[in-house]
Amino acid sequence: MAAPIVELRHVFKNYGDTTVLQDIDISLEAGKFYTLLGPSGSGKTTILRAIAGFLSVSGGDVMIAGQRVNDIPANQRDVNTVFQDYALFPHMDVFDNVAYGLRIRKVDKPAIMTRVQDALHMVRLDNLGDRMISELSGGQQQRVAIARAIVLEPKVLLLDEPLSALDAKLRQDMQYELRDLQQRLGITFLFVTHDQEEALALSDEIFVMNDGQVQQSGTPVDIYDEPINHFVADFIGQSNIVTGRMIADYRVQFNGKTFDCADAGMRPNEPVEVVLRPEDLDVTDLEHGKVAVRVDTQLFRGDYYEIVAYDDAQNEWLIHSTNPASEDGLVGLYFDPEDIHVMRFGESEEDFDARLESYEEE
């Protein structure tokens, strides 16, 4: 594994009595697309600002390219930021906005010319150099903000919820473009968002944040399929979460029945939470179903039906089904053993990873 380009070691941040970051350990490799995902107030933007140099951390080390940068001001760090509100200088035109950083670095004129044009070409804004910022659409302003940052050829580009001000359609287009841009530039992107779909679609690796802590990190598939706790399971995608009991390895009990599952490595009879994704539940008749539920409401969502049903214990079940169910009817729910994901209470990410490795190797 190559040396990390950005590393946070035991980073703390508090304002008086309020802790906003606790013991953050993050390491970013060169050339990958990372996402900090979490609800507002979870500390994700704080991490970004700590790396950019807009706030000093209360403890721990911030390392960029192997060098401790805690005391290096923002204007001397080799990272650049795309701001949520773009923060484009309203009194300069597009070209001057992009050229600003190069002029500060005293790059000579012809070089500025070519580099700004290259950057504008990169974000597909050729020929708009002499426009004022107020004359651009939101999507165009977004691109200028990106061009202004990448023209300086930073090792890491920090993006602070850059798509949140765009409408849904433009947002999707920009997601493709960002991913494409990152691959063409080959530099590290650290992307902050509260939109889990965006994070899943774009990232090589996601850090899920909550309460100033990294809850779980991993590839989108890992995080979706094997959430570490209730928060992650609930925040990423939609989930049915029920409490249960681990009878033995590969045997879990919930809803008064015992089921085969794919999880192991826990104490016998340990209380656990069980996650079942709505799309893993199949609606079938009562005989074939593993759980019996009564359909309550059903909404047509285009590519699937979203069904809300209740079992005898009044647990709510959310089901995504390609076929409609009969309303108010009793139906059975079927799922495979590997659709069940079991989560322990209060398990740390290290223990979680170790446990998964221990039985997956067998």
Partner 1 sequence: MRKFKWSNLYLILTFIVLYLPIGYLILYSFSEGERMTNYRGFTWRHYQELFADPRMIQIVLDTLIVALLSALIATIIGTLGALAINNTTRPSMRNTILSLNNILMVSPDVIIGASFLIFFTALRLPLGFTSVLLSHIAFSIPIVVLMVLPKLRELSGSLIDAARDIGASNVQVLKDVIIPFITPGIFAGFFMAMTYSLDDFAVTFFVTGNGFETLSVEIYARARQGISLEINALSGIMFLFALVLVVGYYFVQQGQSARKTKKRGVTR
CB of 30 to partner 1, least distance (A): 20
Torsion, Cα 270 271 276 277, to 10 degrees, reads -110
Candidate residues 84, 164, 253, 315; the one interacting with partner 1 per rule CB under 8 A: 84
Instruction: Give the three-class secondary structure for 214.
Output: strand
- Give the distance from CA 76 to its chain's centroid: 28
Q: Does 50 bind partner 1 (CB under 8 A)?
A: no
Q: Considering the rule CB under 8 A, would residue 134 count as an interface residue with partner 1? A: yes
CB of 104 to partner 1, least distance (A): 5
Q: What's the distance, CA 360 to chain centroid?
A: 25
Comparing CB distances to partner 1, the nearer of 40 and 76 is 76
Q: Considering only residues 61, 135, 197, 296, which one is a binding residue for partner 1 as defined by CB under 8 A?
A: 135
Query: Going by DSSP bridges, is the β-strand pair 6-15/316-321 parallel, antiparallel, or unpaired?
Result: unpaired
Return the residue of 3, 104, 286, 330 that touches partner 1, per CB under 8 A: 104
| By the rule CB under 8 A, 149 interacts with partner 1 | yes
Which region, judged by CB under 8 A, interacts with partner 1, from 64-72, 87-95, 283-291, 296-304?
Answer: 87-95
List the one residue from 42, 81, 188, 216 that touches partner 1 (CB under 8 A).
81
Q: Which is nearer to partner 1, 14 or 213 (CB)?
A: 14
Residues binding partner 1: what is the number (CB under 8 A)? 30
Q: Which of 101, 218, 220, 278 binds partner 1 (CB under 8 A)?
A: 101
**Cα 274 to chain centroid, rounded:** 22
Angle at 348 between CA 342 and CA 350, to 5 degrees: 100
Q: Contact between 136 and partner 1 (CB under 8 A)?
A: yes
Among 132, 170, 241, 325, binds partner 1 (CB under 8 A): 132
Stretch that binds partner 1, among 39-47, 148-156, 210-218, 333-341 (CB under 8 A): 148-156
Q: Are 201 and 185 in contact (CB under 8 A)?
A: no
Indicate left, alpha or beta for 36 from its phi (over 0: left) and psi (-120 to 50: alpha): beta
Least CB distance from residue 3 to partner 1, whole Å?
Answer: 24
| 275 and 239 Cβ atoms separated by less than 8 Å | yes
Q: Which one, 43 or 154, has the nearer CB to partner 1?
A: 154
CA distance to 81, 89, 99, 349, per residue, from 107 (Å): 20, 20, 9, 46
106 forms part of the interface with partner 1 (CB under 8 A): no
Among 25, 61, 85, 316, binds partner 1 (CB under 8 A): 85
Q: How far is CA 3 from CA 24, 27, 63, 64, 206, in A?
A: 18, 9, 11, 11, 19
Q: Phi first, then psi: give them for residue 352, nearest 5 degrees.
A: -60, -50
Residues forming the site for partner 1 (CB under 8 A): 52-54, 73-76, 80-81, 83-85, 87-91, 100-101, 104-105, 131-132, 134-137, 148-149, 152
